[in-house]
Structure 1
């Protein structure tokens, strides 16, 4: 099941793996040697006291957009994008670069991704023209009861925060490493040890702390402090790492080196699997902390039994393009697809302020209906009869579109559509509570042969469950909070043992004939769906370039009476859309004061082969899009 790497009779030290990785994929062209460790650095983990030099090997500066040829990588992190680019430069394909980039993100973005989580991998094979997907979503333990989110002491549901989000009961069986193994086995040209080596080097040598890393740590300081192993790693001396210092994670380097040597069975079986299960069942909490941290039921047997699901993508046609996404257990592909099918009925334009307002009004109305249908019908298809074909049909979208008034906002929440709809018929269904969090990360890759990957990976909220596996250097996810809190037989996202909670992750590949045109995705919980839809609307319909489409202010209508929107969106469009009857509230997640929606990473390939790698210029500190051969 989990293919073992060839065992060698040698000591596979961190240093050996790091050197092998740098030799294999090459160091960044502008790199200088890593900064020397500060004299008072923690011997095991955390941030050093000395500032890293500006030219440190693992301290490249963000570069939001690059244009050129030969391959492209886009992610939220400069270090990770650089590593992916070097894989492409040295002959790796899109799948190879995606795995290496993802592994690096698990080091530099440990609060958003890592081997303690899961995700969705969408791949386009330029030779065969096939789009395929890997569902590496976390699963509920086999012994998880349907009332797992009910406090036995009170008989009432645990509060989402602080009880559920920082707990063993929220931890699902991780799928990230199994995803990497499956992706390389099916699509890659390199072996997993070689693709892990750069991440091991970064974990061992360290990377420069930026404002985003420090602020995310401070936002979670109370949660992290409740778990001594997490506090030791991320709160050295009781404070978040200081901007400009070097953060090292040798425990994670050792863990990744172990996996490089022994294969993914080193994670899913044996000692490490038992350690993960023990932490979930017996959270290592500071007795002085008021955090409840209820235990979970995950076992070593659950880890050994984990398998990814390889399945066909979702597909819709939009403006003559083929849009492929992730099928359930993700709701991303069906909900983005339905939204686009509704918008297909309208001529959209951004040529004038009035035309932009009309287009955005229709965008908000389309996503409201798509979310009503998502909530009513989408769950893990292994447990729920999901009407994927109907949700993606143009006939169903037309029936939903006929409930939209082109000149006035609907009274929301709107009802879901009837699956056997004739005309504008709707169905009755309760609106489940949306508890999906806004963290996660995304990467996009296109190689010189035209293969492409859109990969969204996560540990759920920023900092996941806040529980670090002792001595292993990685956080465990809290993905099971994506299930509905209260069990309801009519709810497709109800808790069931072995089930995958519904997700909004929306890795998307858009083809023009048999060639890649766009690759994109974003973090942001349920706002991922609206972010991906809005970027496509901006680029395809409203006349923006890809960098403009990514940078433009966002709103996220998810079938609510009031639409969360970035302040810049409200300033630009609030008045005009108010005339349609829309009302807005400044966006912001439940854990921080951040007002930004998403942090997209996208690539466009022009008909002449020119590649534009576009990441966020501002959101989440700014991302990095790189091409192999930049255009002069």
Structure 2
């Protein structure tokens, strides 16, 4: 089934009107159907369109996606273009030096496909190497934190299998903004400024990303000609320019000069993997995530633990509902810390972890009256980031997430390539007994996870929540907001969120003892917070930041309508035509 009814070209000014909500005023009937209980937390209207839609964390990227759709490209083409633009305009969060994951709904075959475009550790990286140099953990920044960047191969895989336009056309908007410059937006400017000192400590990074020693301010026009040259190399010669050509050679040479382990041969050996998404059914909705090395199945585990409880009757923001969600998160994340790893190198019991039977056993550990101060993993076996989504009028949709991990990743720009290399390698454990232990050529545990929801075999929602450990618990919160609490796609992201900082990290290193801390955004009542504290939770009212950034598109097949939401915690926008 398609969504397309007619193919008119709509000028960019109309897209901006849609984004602002002006062009959505007449759609109150549609919004009311998605929002039966009225708005409570909304910052703006959801965006409603018929021909195509993109929701990203920066308006220039959303607009680039729409232009590709209007020129005849499909959702996958548009997503590649938007992701490349984000690497230019939001460089601390993503770029050619990071990894990529995606879930694609293909209208032709009427099924979902998963892409794992994350890179592996250098072949020279061993636990012994780090131990001999006195490391108990892999450094969180610098050249020893590198793994192979998978982004560019991810673009190539997506375009080759599902795209319809030449790569040069898809990268043209990003090349334009890198060469001609772009005005820096507000939240991105703040994130850039937060990395100013770290960038200044690395000569190549300072030369690339600082102007007279300072990060650009809001509205400053920033240019990155080095990145434009790298993008043009890939546009002209394809992914091999990155993994086997001049870019790979430059990365290898720079790595050798600063004591890194990443070599050109590591890039040449890289390959992405097509994987089958996995799902659980939550109240009639099939929620899909990618299997590890990512953390997506933690969201599925949490949903299984929550399903027996009547959250709708408890109400959004009630102490009872919040308590159950926090306790489910604790249990799922303990399993995450023990079991999640590269499935090519470790036996990860995915089917058991996301089974209803396993959830029923773990359910017994949730006390509705008391916080669990010492959650432990179960025994399932009898054994900085951007998120974006695009949908087109033909019925295709893509849920895509891409990241450098920390702001500007490792903090190192290799030579004059114009992008920072990620620091995902720091998430390996230097513990021989751990599933996520460092091994040569192994994918590290990953926090970035795209998600998708189908209902009765049809696409219903393409969504994600960026933000490290916040992501899986963020997925659950926005889904409960929509499915249990009746919010529409915009309000589900606008509503206040909590973040539980728990007892274990994926490396197996303790982050906090006992039951951890619950940080909450403003918007939850003092009464609910006091009730949580009475159950034994340590609750902290947090300043803005750290609660992720959400983008989503609701796909209403029956009415032929796309409904987009974009998180006000980011600079982004949902746009449609």
TM band (smaller chain): 0.7 to 0.9
Aligned to 1:174, the other structure's residue is in SS state coil
Correspondence list, 1:264-283, <5 A:
264-283=239-258
1:558 Cα deviation (Å)?
Answer: 5.2
> Does residue 401 in structure 1 map to residue 354 in structure 2?
no
After TM superposition, the score normalised by the length of structure 2 is 0.87
> Does residue 345 in structure 1 map to residue 308 in structure 2?
yes
Q: Which runs of 5+ in 2 are unaligned?
A: 1-8, 17-42, 504-514
Aligned to 2:388, the other structure's residue is in SS state strand
Question: Is the contact between residue 323 and residue 509 of structure 1 (CA under 8 Å) also seen in structure 2?
Answer: yes
> Does residue 578 in structure 1 map to residue 529 in structure 2?
no
Partner of 1:90: 71
Partner of 2:264: 300
Partner of 2:212: 237
1:233 Cα deviation (Å)?
Answer: 2.1
Q: CA offsets, 1:253-281, max 9 Å, x none?
A: 11111111111111111222111112223
Q: Compared with structure 1, are the counterparts of its residues 176 and 420 closer, same or farther at alpha carbon in structure 2 (3 Å cutoff)?
A: closer
Aligned to 2:104, the other structure's residue is in SS state strand
Correspondence list, 1:431-442, <5 A:
439-442=384-387
1:515 Cα deviation (Å)?
Answer: 1.9
> Does residue 597 in structure 1 map to residue 553 in structure 2?
no
> Does residue 563 in structure 1 map to residue 517 in structure 2?
yes
> Does residue 336 in structure 1 map to residue 332 in structure 2?
no
Cα RMSD after superposing both structures: 2.3
The number of aligned residues is 530
Q: CA offsets, 1:452-496, max 9 Å, x none?
A: 111110011011111112222111111111212xx2232111111
1:188 Cα deviation (Å)?
Answer: 1.2
Q: Please point out which of 433, 437, 457 is paired with 1:514.
A: 457
Partner of 1:450: 395
1:92 Cα deviation (Å)?
Answer: 1.5
Partner of 2:114: 133
Distance 2:465 2:257 in 1: 33
Q: Compared with structure 1, are the counterparts of its residues 151 and 72 closer, same or farther at alpha carbon in structure 2 (3 Å cutoff)?
A: farther
Question: Is the contact between residue 470 and residue 499 of structure 2 (CA under 8 Å) also seen in structure 1?
Answer: yes
Partner of 2:341: 379
1:217 Cα deviation (Å)?
Answer: 2.2
Aligned to 2:281, the other structure's residue is in SS state strand
Q: Compared with structure 1, are the counterparts of its residues 495 and 227 closer, same or farther at alpha carbon in structure 2 (3 Å cutoff)?
A: same
Distance 2:548 2:229 in 1: 32
Partner of 2:136: 157
Distance 1:168 1:116 in 2: 13
Distance 1:583 1:517 in 2: 36
1:542 Cα deviation (Å)?
Answer: 1.6
> Does residue 200 in structure 1 map to residue 137 in structure 2?
no
Distance 1:241 1:420 in 2: 52
1:151 Cα deviation (Å)?
Answer: 6.8
Q: Compared with structure 1, are the counterparts of its residues 536 and 168 closer, same or farther at alpha carbon in structure 2 (3 Å cutoff)?
A: same
Aligned to 2:490, the other structure's residue is in SS state helix
Correspondence list, 1:174-213, <5 A:
174-213=149-188
Deviating beyond 6 angstroms after TM superposition, the runs of 4 or more aligned structure 1 residues are none
> Does residue 546 in structure 1 map to residue 521 in structure 2?
no
Aligned to 1:328, the other structure's residue is in SS state coil
Aligned to 2:445, the other structure's residue is in SS state coil
Partner of 2:231: 256
Question: Is the contact between residue 15 and residue 575 of structure 2 (CA under 8 Å) also seen in structure 1?
Answer: no
Q: CA offsets, 1:81-124, max 9 Å, x none?
A: 11111212222111111111111111111111111111211111
> Does residue 494 in structure 1 map to residue 437 in structure 2?
yes
Q: Compared with structure 1, are the counterparts of its residues 350 and 441 closer, same or farther at alpha carbon in structure 2 (3 Å cutoff)?
A: farther
Aligned to 1:310, the other structure's residue is in SS state strand
Partner of 1:611: 562
> Does residue 226 in structure 1 map to residue 201 in structure 2?
yes
Question: Is the contact between residue 55 and residue 572 of structure 2 (CA under 8 Å) also seen in structure 1?
Answer: yes
Q: Compared with structure 1, are the counterparts of its residues 461 and 477 closer, same or farther at alpha carbon in structure 2 (3 Å cutoff)?
A: same
Distance 2:14 2:205 in 1: 34
Distance 1:483 1:64 in 2: 42
